[in-house]
């Protein structure tokens, strides 16, 4: 509550002054309490709310990372398809494999053929997995030299036109 005092300011109007009692209430409210610490219930509520917020943020962050890896996989597959098309255009056929195919890791026969032909400098690899783990890029020559299939996996259902049930989702690319 503001009280007007009889003191005049520079412009001749009465100056308002805050009551000392109001100032005491504003600045010393916490000091009037007998208990100055937080209760156990208050601390538990704060910890629970922070835990909930943290779990939401971590979940969203991991989902963003999975979508980013999926976008990288799609880009890698397009690069491999372009490389294989260049190889077939210069040599007349796609690299051949046996029926089980090969894991494209840069050390296999297909990777060596593509690099030695000059169609690509290095074979792109799956951003999260290698050939020792289950999901990776697997190249199979379906009919010797005339067509191929690249099998790869996506972690989410976020790529348009590439949906499936529960991830990881197996995908195939061919010419």
Least confident segment among 3-7, 14-18, 63-67: 3-7
Check if the beta carbon of residue 131 is closer than 8 Å to that of residue 105. Answer: yes
- Judged against a pLDDT cut of 60, whether residue 138 lies above it is answered with yes
Please give the distance of CA 110 from its chain centroid, rounded to a whole number. 31
pLDDT class of 164 with cuts at 50, 70, 90: confident
Q: How far is Cα 31 from Cα 23, in angstroms, rounded to an integer?
A: 13
Question: pTM score, two decimals?
Answer: 0.66
Q: How far is Cα 53 from Cα 116, in angstroms, rounded to an integer?
A: 52
pLDDT number for residue 51:
95
Check if the beta carbon of residue 171 is closer than 8 Å to that of residue 151. Answer: yes
- Judged against a pLDDT cut of 60, whether residue 4 lies above it is answered with no
Omega cis (within 30) before 168: yes
Residues 6+ apart with CB under 8 A from 154: 70, 73, 74, 162, 164, 167, 168, 169, 171
């Amino acid at each position: 509550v503001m009280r007007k005092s009889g003191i005049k300011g520079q412009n001749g109007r009465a100056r308002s002054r805050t009551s000392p009692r109001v100032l005491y209430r504003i600045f010393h409210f916490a000091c009037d309490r007998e208990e100055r610490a937080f209760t156990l219930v208050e601390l538990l509520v704060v910890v629970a709310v922070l835990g909930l917020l943290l779990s939401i943020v971590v979940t969203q962050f991991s989902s963003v990372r999975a979508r980013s890896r999926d976008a990288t996989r799609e880009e890698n597959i397009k690069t491999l398809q372009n490389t294989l098309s260049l190889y077939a255009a210069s040599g007349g056929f796609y690299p051949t494999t046996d029926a089980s195919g090969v894991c494209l890791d840069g050390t296999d026969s297909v990777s060596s053929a593509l690099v030695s032909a000059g169609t690509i400098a290095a074979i792109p690899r799956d951003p999260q997995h290698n050939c020792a783990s289950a999901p990776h890029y697997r190249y199979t020559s379906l009919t010797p030299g005339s067509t191929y299939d690249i099998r790869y996996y996506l972690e989410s259902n976020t790529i348009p036109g590439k949906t499936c049930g529960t991830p990881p989702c197996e995908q195939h690319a061919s010419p």
